[in-house]
Structure 1
Amino acid sequence: MIVQRSGPSVPESAWFKSSYSGSQGGECVEVAVASGAVHIRDSKDSSSPILTTTPEAWCHLLTLTAP
């Protein structure tokens, strides 16, 4: 996983809120899928650092956290 202080050039329109994020605020993430990468950021602060991982690692994380 890579943490980038200055975000990759991901168009703002590519970001979507995770279905695991609730509507009451709190812990919310946004995800942008690009060729060969998945970018993750805090939905409440789009200027925060962006985590970048491989699609395979992202899928693995989702299977670990699935209800």
Structure 2
Amino acid sequence: MWLGSLADYNDGELHGAWLDATADVDTLNDAAQYILRNSHQPGGAENRYLLGLAGVSGLS
């Protein structure tokens, strides 16, 4: 899955990373916090996640 900063996306930048969707919750949360801390847009806790899933069966 791809996880990125929604604020960056809304500003025309893709800032995020591909992550292993089978990773445990703590690992995914740590990665999300790292992505948001390194965002190009200020916002801190107001910053939100943008999630993209590719090749995941069962989603419509």
Range of TM-score over shorter length = under 0.3
TM-score (norm 1): 0.25
